[in-house]
A and B are shown apart, each in its own frame.
Chain A
Amino acid sequence: MDLKKNLGAYLFLLPAFIVLAVFFFIPFFHTIILSFFDYSKDIYKPDFVFIGNYIELIKSPVFIKTILNTFYFMLLCVPFLVIFPLFLAILINQKIVCKTLYKILIYIPVIISIVVVAIAFKWLYAPEGLLNFFVEKFGLKPIGWLSDPNVSMISVALVTIFKGVGYYMMIYLSALMSIPKDLYEAADVDGAVGLRKHMLVTIPHVMPVIALVSTISSISALKVFVEIYVMTKGGPLNSTKTIVYYIYEKAFENLDLGIASAGAVILLVIVMAFSVLNIFVFERDKYKV
């Protein structure tokens, strides 16, 4: 009986596990193995170099720059994506007309593929494009949105923010809708109004969601790729080259599999730090056996 019961469970799990094994577990270990080999001389006869690739990466100014770029990008996006969508959600969660319409319109950038969004922004960022028209209207010099290394990362981050606001707003909204109404009534009785009411009731209640949004937006910032691939290809002067772009370039353009894999393992460690925080602290209830 016990065996039969076990077998039943295994059969249910089997299809998913086959897929995960082939396209997940094996590649995971393979990445680590690849990262110990040097493929740069002969792709068919790699040399075992142990942590040689890692040492090379740490010594490489370009790789260090991509790491700094990635964190810079994260810093540009994450605070905005944590705070602004919450503000919007609080606004929309009031008793107002056109609520659904607002939600739909703000959500539209989320469903449109990032490729098209990046193409649309590339057009806005054109030297004689729409954005520079407004810039000049304010009496400023036109900005090299994608050609000035000091600005390019900000331009990329704007695209990510544009695409993310609606998504995080919906997450906050479902948290806000779960706040019991009587908490606000109690705050009313205490004479709290406006901002203070939100500080007293809303913010403490959505604190776990703020934490959740912080980690998931950080993780997706660490994985940024398409915006950069479509708009800047990592340039100008490597100013928008992020870790994933670096890995992609090394793996599929330079065929330097070892370096690419070592880069991937480094990214993995960084992402894991955020994921562990998320899974074991912020979303603990969801992931209980």
Chain B
Amino acid sequence: MKIKFRNILTHIILITVCILSLVPLLWLLSTALKGRSENIFAYPPVFIPQDFTLDNFKEVLKLVPIGRYVINSFIVAFVTVILNVILSALAAYPLARMEFQGKKIAFFSILATIMVPFQTIMLPVYIITLKLHLTDNYSMLAGYLGLILPFAVNAFGIFLLRQAFLTIPKEIEESAVIDGCNSFQIFYKLLLPMIKPQIALLAIFTFIGSWGEFLWPSIVLTDEKLFTLTIGINNLSSAFSADYRLVAAGSIISIVPIIIFFLALQRYFISGTTEGAVKG
């Protein structure tokens, strides 16, 4: 009897926390679904829209190129993921499995980057990006590259994959050497397929991080054609702050892709966050 009571208490607490984690978004959704004739400041508040409508969604899609923002966010996130996987894997391999001169220096200089948050170097990063002409004033491609390249690799990714390479037994490599494989072949054909789970983890967390990134795009972007979702939605929220129905509708549209992405891959999220290292 006592055990049962404790179980019920557990569920009550967890359900409350779940509701709390959803209420801000559900309230936004409810506001987005309320028509012109309904007071969104009604007292007491009404959760289920009385004048139910999808007009706010249609209108916000007409006013703001959200589709464009989604495509931009997707391009940036996708290329960032690809570059992170390739560069991290390449760098992680010698750090885990080769002996060479300067290994310690390489190791510690990568480690040092963990200690320096992007926020403290963003100004010189911007200056360099300008000097390299990697902004949207030059071309779309330059704009994309400017958004992507500063985040093309980071120490967390390198260390995550290095850890993964370290767990593979040495003997596997030795037999490949006897078979006459060179180190790139060993890396590419033999070891890389063995760390697929960690690569998936790196890819997923990089994607989420890039998708939600705000600070850097807010610094470099000037051309609306290149706006990512976070920038576009923030602009929407200041431009239409008088009509929160539209802000709400835009925000809800903007989270649909990432929610689908999350639900499709949820088993990765709820298994290995620790290894996924630290959010940006």
B-contacting residues of A (Cβ < 8 Å)?
5-6, 8-10, 12-13, 15-17, 19-20, 22-28, 30-31, 34, 88, 91-92, 94, 96, 98, 100, 102-109, 111-117, 119-124, 126, 128-130, 133, 162, 165-167, 170-171, 173-175, 194, 209, 216, 219-220, 222-223, 225-226, 229-230, 244, 247-248, 251-252, 257, 260-261, 264-265, 267-268, 271-272, 275-276, 279, 286-287, 289
Contact = CB atoms under 8 A, between A and B. Distances in A.
Given A111-B259, A267-B119, A105 B109 contact: no
Given A174-B272, A287-B111, A31 B120 contact: yes
Interface in B151-178: 152-153, 158-159, 163
B121 A226 contact: no
Interface stretch (B37-45, B53-61, B136-144, B194-202): B37-45
Given A27-B123, A115-B233, 16 more contacts: A12-B183, A15-B91, A28-B124, A88-B14, A94-B10, A98-B14, A111-B208, A113-B211, A113-B254, A115-B230, A171-B274, A209-B274, A223-B117, A225-B215, A252-B126, A286-B163
Contact of A119 (B10, B41, B91, B237): B237
B90 A108 contact: no
Interface in B101-152: 101-104, 106-111, 113-117, 119-128, 132, 149-150, 152
Interface centre among B93, B122, B187, B261 (most CB of A within 10 A): B122
Contacts of A96: 7, 10-11
| Chain B binding surface SS class | helix
Interface of B: 6-7, 10-11, 13-14, 17-18, 20-22, 24-25, 27-28, 31, 41, 43-45, 86-88, 90-91, 93-95, 98-104, 106-111, 113-117, 119-128, 132, 149-150, 152-153, 158-159, 163, 183-184, 187, 208, 211-212, 214-215, 218-219, 229-230, 233-234, 237, 244, 247-248, 251, 254-255, 258-259, 261-263, 266, 269-274, 278-279
B269 A107 contact: yes
A15 B255 contact: no
A12 B90 contact: yes
Given A16-B158, A19-B149, A167-B279, A114 B128 contact: no
A107 B248 CA distance: 21
A16 B212 contact: no
A173 B100 CA distance: 38
Contact of B269 (A9, A17, A111, A251): A111
11 contacts: A23-B128, A107-B266, A115-B234, A117-B24, A119-B234, A130-B27, A220-B279, A229-B234, A252-B123, A252-B219, A264-B122
A5 B99 CA distance: 8
B114 A9 contact: no
A137 to B, nearest CB: 8
Contacts of A279: 111, 114-115
A104 B90 contact: no
A43 to B, nearest CB: 12
Contacts of B122: 247-248, 251, 264
A34 B279 contact: no
B115 A271 contact: yes
A5 B106 CA distance: 15
The 7 lowest CB-CB distance pairs between A and B, nearest first, are: A27-B124, A30-B124, A113-B212, A170-B273, A16-B91, A9-B100, A9-B94
Contacts of B116: 24, 28, 268, 271-272
B231 to A, nearest CB: 8
Given A96-B10, A115-B234, A15 B87 contact: yes
B94 A105 contact: no
A113 B229 contact: yes
Contacts of B31: 123
B254 A106 contact: no
B100 A113 contact: no
B28 A119 contact: yes
Contacts of A24: 113, 116, 121
B45 A133 contact: yes
Contact of A226 (B20, B124, B214, B272): B214
Nearest to B218: A229
A28 B103 CA distance: 22
A12 B93 contact: yes
A124 B91 CA distance: 46
B103 A104 contact: no
Contacts of A105: 18, 21-22
A226 B215 contact: yes
A116 B121 contact: no
Nearest to B183: A8
B120 A264 contact: yes
A106 B21 contact: yes
A268 B124 CA distance: 14
A91 B98 contact: no
A173 B221 CA distance: 39
Contact of A10 (B20, B24, B100, B125): B100
Contacts of B150: 23
A30 B126 CA distance: 11
